[in-house]
Amino acid sequence: MDRPNRRVPARTRAGPSAGPGGQRRLPWGPVIGFGLVSLAADVVSDGARPLAGPLLAQLGGSALLVGLVTGTAEAAAQGLRLVFGPWADRTRKYWTFTLAGYALTAVCVPLLAVTPVAGAAGLVLACGLIIGDRVGKAVRSPAKTVLLAAAATPVGRGRGFAVHKSLDLAGALLGPLLVSAVLAATGMLSAAFAVLAVPAAAALLLLLRLRRRVQDPGTGLPGPADGTAGPPTAAGTAAPDPGGAPPSAFSRAFILFAAAAFFWSAGLVAFGVISFHLTATAAVPVPAVPLLYAAAMGAAALGALASGVAYDRAGPAVLLGLPVLITSVPVLALAPGLGLVLAGVLVWGTATGIQDSTVKALIADLVPGSRKGTAYGVFAAFEGAGALAGGALYGALYAARPALIAAVAALQGAALVLLVVSLRKARRP
């Protein structure tokens, strides 16, 4: 098909739109609302994320265990969307899945505070809670992204997803700063996890308030973005079958794009392995690890904004730089010198920001509105399978850095070829 037209009609970009009963709504309001929820939730999830490696190491875990657990967690976060995405589309209860997913994260992460004092069961409990947090991500992400794709239509999906991701990453930056301050003051991992109960409660309260203001697209009632029934359909996306059958989410361009995602996810190491390397090899103090993660989140925010604006202006070719960035991550992030490691952490953050924002904007433009939840689930399953393979790869080859670098380079070469073919097919009538 032709490259999707992302030009938004002037009436949706010029100013506030009228909602039900003549109420005026700002086009950016729902996007900012979802961004603030993600900000609070990411203070929780990403505050804990850089401590996964040190926590498992403290509880007796090896580099292989850290790689497998963090890889499994990312695989769950991505792969289980294959279940929850179609489920959300089938039931049309997008808000139910969004609320349930955020609640799971809000429970699992603060409970990590008890693992250091749980005795022999602490390691098993920590593994389960780390994975449980990412399962919550899988439950909410397809449904929340459908809500966000509808809300972002009036402002441009590239910009909308980029602004949302930037707010999300602000939380991912604040979370590590918070736990680093607690670690510096107390020296206790338990205290660092326990304090995350406060932003967890704030995320749920913000979400409940947003729920009262934003209609579920599945209800068929007027939506927040443009006052139309159901989620708006972006120009250039497929329309429903006139006979009433739901359009397919599985175009050839989409499947090739998802296959490319498998390969780039397999090469993008989970931060748990990097944090293990920082403390075990680079001799970085544990309280400093969240600060480095915060720096990565700052780089991710910049990467998301830059790629989002470029996507709206120049199209999806901006994504061709993603495999190149990922290829350099093991070269830098797992180096013995702290300077190279810091550069690698920033590159890792930039790649993560692009993957979590602009990639989703392209999916929204490739897939018809009634199948977006399914498409996000299928796409995430490819990413999750890649993350699981990558976790095992990094864990097994951690001590053999040249072999690891060569393996990641080969994976990204395959990703680049598939991405080029996918984008060419997406442009064809």
**267 has a pLDDT exceeding 70:** yes
Query: Which of the listed ranges 210-224, 348-362, 409-423 does the model predict with the highest average pLDDT?
Result: 409-423
CA angle, 344 as apex, 262 and 159 as ends, to 5°?
Answer: 65
Instruction: Identify whether 228 is part of a domain.
Output: no
> Where in the sequence is the domain holding 45, given as residue range(s)?
26-218+248-427
* The model scores a pTM over 0.85: no
pLDDT on residue 369: 62
**pLDDT number for residue 285:** 82
Q: Is residue 291 part of a domain?
A: yes
Residue 239 lies in a domain: no
Residue 45 belongs to some domain of the structure: yes
Which pLDDT score, from 0 to 100, does residue 242 have?
A: 37
In this prediction, residue 19 has a pLDDT band, given cuts at 50, 70 and 90, of very low
Q: What is the CA radius of gyration of the chain?
A: 21
What's the whole-number average pLDDT of the chain?
79
The string of DSSP letters for 171-183 reads HHHHHHHHHHHHH
Confidence of residue 249 (pLDDT cuts 50, 70, 90): low
Q: At residue 39, does pLDDT exceed 60?
A: yes
Q: Is 145 contained in some domain?
A: yes
Q: Per-residue pLDDT for 326 more than 90?
A: yes
The pLDDT confidence band at residue 198, using thresholds 50, 70 and 90, is very high
- Is residue 241, in this structure, part of any structural domain at all? no
For residues 17 and 333, which has the higher predicted lDDT (pLDDT)?
333
Residue 237 lies in a domain: no
Handedness of CA 124, 129, 134, 138 (dihedral sign): positive
Give the CATH number, domain containing residue 62.
Answer: 1.20.1250.20
Q: What is the pLDDT of residue 325?
A: 93
* Sign of the torsion angle spanned by Cα atoms 371, 372, 376, 382: positive
- What was the pLDDT predicted at 43? 93
DSSP string, 332-387: HHTSSSHHHHHHHHHHHHHHHHHHTTHHHHHHHHHS-GGGHHHHHHHHHHHHHHHH
In 3D space, the residue among 377, 351, 355, 375 whose CA is nearest the CA of residue 364 turns out to be: 375
Domain tally for the chain? 1
Q: Determine which of 17-26, 198-207, 233-242, 406-415 has the lowest per-residue pLDDT on average.
A: 233-242
3-class secondary structure, 24: strand
- Residue 236 maps to a domain: no
pLDDT in tens, 77-133: 877 888 888 888 888 888 899 999 999 999 999 999 999 888 778 899 999 999 999
